């Protein structure tokens, strides 16, 4: 790290000290701490309740890829409910697939590489105007997981791009439709190894691959244990090995749709898989209390299987709780989960799985909006590294003049963020939704990727990104430059936009003293003050822990 962020008296690099010494204490123990008030999560569209700067910034920390002054004004002008409606009505921007095509990554020399995909992913997260859709897409990618590192076929960049495009297209759609499209995608077929899956062979003793049958239940829909309506678990298992084996017979015979007979272009990657050859198991299939009779065709059997899974009572609390964790808090009160799950089961018009209604229920719920939870030790979540980076990039209008977005894979914890979109190390995501750090004793999923190496690596990486950019991806600090000589105003502005005015009084004093000790009087010196202030705030526990 540069000496520009050291304290004026020459003490050790303050950002790393702040982050490593206080991060754990900021998430201190206690119960769920949530406001478990009853009632529905519906918020009347009129009259618009006044929204303060701090409230707008806090709402956007949960509902966007990063707070900006412009977005705060929008929320304050129309209210939180209308802002969500407006975001959901926004047209999608250029897809990741189309961007790769436009940039020429479909050239044959890229057939066996991941060239272009990281840029396509970061571009959307940082620059796409439909910021709520991008936040929900990222959340879904960490529930219905596929990973670039698990794609083994050709055109891996396009495989990943189209998978994320599927998630984005369904972010405000129906979860059942999402399951259908994911299941038939060549991306998931390859990632969870059921592409080309063959029926049992009595002569060789081979059995259908059970990978997807297991994970679609365990991780994407119903989980291991039967749940109460509020997401609390019972002691009863949700399914058995026999259910896995029976369901696996459904996912046989599916393979690439190689229309034209070639894989020398990536087009087949965005076509749903089709039945190929005689690998489909046409016999009887039994699972989850349902039997599909022998002779039922593959497409009908697949629809019946997904309908059966989707009808399971676990789906609503299982998916709802994880979406709450990704957007609002790691430890939602059971009543919060139950309210959202009720909306998942019925959007008010008798429709199950309406993600538009579910997302609104999550973000407008009293537990999400209650100011009392700012002081509740068990409320909130560790802001995952991707969201820390995009919070900075969005707040200060980071752009790539060349449209190259050459940020790359940021997975390395010692020198980069320690996390990168669509680079989960396994189908279990970057972190488990039920992970409990031994030092805390409460659920804190993101802490699974927090350690001494990743804390310091993140701060060093952000200090460089803030002051120099990443490639030609650079922020615009023109709005901060006039404040650099007025340290209280500078710290207050960054405190509002990045932490929703949640920096403690002690942290504010520490930051003001450190930055005041730095030279000023020139634009270069003022810029160094801005770099230091941003780095220190982004290393603070009040920023790293989203409340």
Q: What are the pLDDT digits (tens) for 117-167?
A: 999 999 999 999 999 999 999 999 999 999 999 999 999 999 999 999 999
Q: Say if pTM beats, i.e. exceeds, 0.85.
A: yes
Average pLDDT over residues 67-94: 98
Q: What are the pLDDT digits (tens) for 323-336?
A: 999 999 999 999 99
DSSP H helical ranges for 478-522 = 487-499, 505-516
Measure Cα distances from 13 to 17, 518, 536 in Å: 7, 14, 10
Check residue 260 and give its pLDDT. Answer: 77
Residue 42's pLDDT band, with cuts at 50, 70 and 90, is low
Residue 500's pLDDT band, with cuts at 50, 70 and 90, is very high
Residue 20's pLDDT band, with cuts at 50, 70 and 90, is very low
DSSP letters, 360-418, are HHHHHSHHHH-GGGGG-TT-SEEPPHHHHHHHHHHHTT-B-TTS--TT-----TTTS-S
Main-chain phi, psi angles of 274, to 5 degrees: -125, 165
HSE value, Cβ hemisphere, 13 Å, CA-based, for 216: 35
- For residues 155 and 179, is the Cβ–Cβ distance under 8 A? no
Round the average pLDDT of the chain to a whole number and report it.
92
Q: Is the pLDDT of residue 243 over 50?
A: yes
Q: Where are the domains of the chain?
A: 3-42+377-546, 97-127+144-219+239-311
506 preceded by a cis bond (ω within 30 of 0):
no
């Amino acid at each position: 790290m540069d000496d520009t962020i050291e304290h004026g008296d020459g003490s050790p690099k303050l950002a790393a000290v702040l982050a490593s010494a206080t991060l754990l204490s900021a998430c201190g123990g206690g119960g769920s701490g949530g406001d478990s008030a009853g009632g529905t999560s519906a918020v009347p569209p009129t009259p618009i309740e006044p929204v303060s700067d701090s409230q707008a910034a806090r709402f956007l920390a949960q509902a966007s890829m990063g707070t900006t002054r412009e977005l705060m004004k929008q929320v304050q002008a129309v209210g939180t409910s209308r802002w969500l409606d407006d975001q959901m009505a926004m047209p999608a921007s250029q897809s990741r697939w189309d961007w790769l095509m436009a940039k020429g990554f479909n050239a044959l020399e890229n057939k066996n590489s991941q060239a272009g995909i990281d840029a396509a992913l970061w571009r959307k997260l940082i620059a796409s105007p439909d910021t709520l859709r991008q936040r929900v897409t990222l959340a879904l990618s960490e529930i219905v997981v596929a990973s670039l590192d698990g794609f083994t076929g050709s055109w891996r960049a396009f495989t990943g791009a189209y998978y994320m495009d599927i998630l984005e297209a369904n972010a405000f759609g129906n979860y059942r439709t999402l399951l259908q499209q994911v299941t038939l995608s060549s991306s998931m077929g390859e990632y969870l190894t059921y592409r080309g899956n063959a029926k049992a062979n009595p002569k060789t003793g081979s059995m259908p691959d059970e990978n997807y049958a297991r994970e679609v239940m365990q991780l994407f829909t119903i989980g291991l244990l039967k749940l109460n309506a509020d997401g609390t678990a019972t002691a009863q298992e949700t399914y058995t090995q026999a259910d896995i084996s029976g369901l696996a017979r459904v996912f046989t015979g599916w393979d690439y749709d190689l229309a034209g007979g070639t894989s020398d272009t990536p087009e087949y990657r965005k076509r749903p898989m089709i039945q190929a050859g005689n690998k489909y198991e046409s016999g009887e299939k039994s699972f989850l209390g349902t039997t599909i009779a022998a002779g039922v065709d593959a497409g009908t059997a697949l629809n019946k299987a997904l309908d059966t899974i989707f009808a399971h009572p676990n789906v609503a609390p299982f998916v709802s709780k994880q979406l709450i964790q990704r957007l609002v808090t790691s430890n939602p009160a059971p009543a919060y989960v139950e309210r959202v799950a009720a909306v998942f089961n019925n959007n008010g018009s008798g429709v199950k799985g309406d993600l538009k209604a579910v997302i609104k229920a999550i973000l407008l719920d009293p537990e999400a909006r209650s100011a009392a939870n700012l002081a509740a030790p068990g409320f909130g979540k560790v802001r995952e590294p991707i969201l820390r980076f995009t919070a900075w990039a969005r707040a200060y209008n980071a752009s790539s003049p060349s449209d190259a977005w050459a940020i790359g894979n940021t997975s390395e914890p010692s020198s980069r963020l320690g996390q990168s979109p669509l680079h989960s190390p396994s189908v279990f995501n970057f972190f488990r939704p039920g992970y409990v750090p031994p030092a805390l004793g409460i659920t804190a999923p993101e802490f699974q990727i927090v350690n001494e190496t990743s804390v310091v690596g993140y701060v060093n990486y952000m200090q460089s990104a803030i002051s120099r950019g990443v490639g030609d991806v650079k922020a615009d600090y023109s709005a901060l430059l006039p404040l650099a000589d007025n340290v209280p105003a500078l710290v207050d502005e960054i405190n509002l936009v990045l932490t929703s005015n949640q920096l403690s009084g002690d942290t504010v004093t520490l930051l003001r003293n450190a930055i005041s000790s730095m030279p000023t009087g020139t634009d270069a010196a003022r810029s160094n003050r801005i770099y230091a202030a941003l780095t220190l705030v982004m290393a603070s526990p009040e920023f790293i822990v989203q409340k």
